[in-house]
Every structure is written in structure tokens, then in C-alpha cells.
Amino acid sequence: MCFDYSGQHDIIQAVNRIIKNNEYTEITEEILAKHLYTNDMPNPELVIRTSGEHRLSNFLLWQSAYSELYFTDTYWPDFSPQDLDTAISWYKNRERRFGKISEQLTKE
């Protein structure tokens, strides 16, 4: 869980650290990711957005690029173990492509 986290701030501080250290002549995805606050954590596979909102709200902007996004009208304080089971069940039925076009689309 992340609280008081800003994805935009995380990206800006990573870029500023890279500039300050003057280590690279070119920035790659791997280099930027290495300088994020979450550099020692895996990217989330599933992001659950509660309260009926359909946006990330500045949460893990870089890290959630290939996450599955699950939206629910349930507010966070009311989010129950059953709601989590529902979200996980939904996630298990997703086809994870990580930015690649599915074979089904390429055959058409």
C-alpha cells in the first residue's frame, strides 16, 4: 500500500537524481526505473481503484504502465475480503499482454 505518494513527484525526483549524478548520456526505461522510490519493488500486476473513480489519481504512474486496472464503486473503508476476492477473480480472467497485440488481433 502507498499513502501520500505522488507518481509525478517520483518521476521528477528520479530525473533530478540522474541529472545530479551526471552518470548517463542517455536515459532508458531501466535507468529511470532504477531511480524511482519503488526501485526495489516489483511493479504491480493489479491496481484496485475504489470509490467509483476511473483514474489513477497520480498513483504509481510509471509502475502501473502494464498493470490491470480494476474499478469498484466500493469506498476504501468498506472494501472487504469478499471485494478483494472479486477483484482477484476478475484479474485471473484477464489476458496479460504487457503492451503486445494479442495473436487474435494479428490473425484478423
Instruction: Supply the pLDDT for residue 108.
Output: 57
pLDDT class for 97, splitting at 50, 70, 90?
A: confident
Would you say residue 15 has pLDDT above 70? yes
pLDDT tens track for 18-34: 999 988 999 999 999 99
Mean pLDDT, residues 46-65 taken together: 94
pLDDT class for 102, splitting at 50, 70, 90?
A: low
Q: Which residues contact 36 (CB under 8 A, 6 or more apart)?
A: 10, 11, 14, 62, 63
Distance CA(19)–CA(27), nearest Å, equals 10
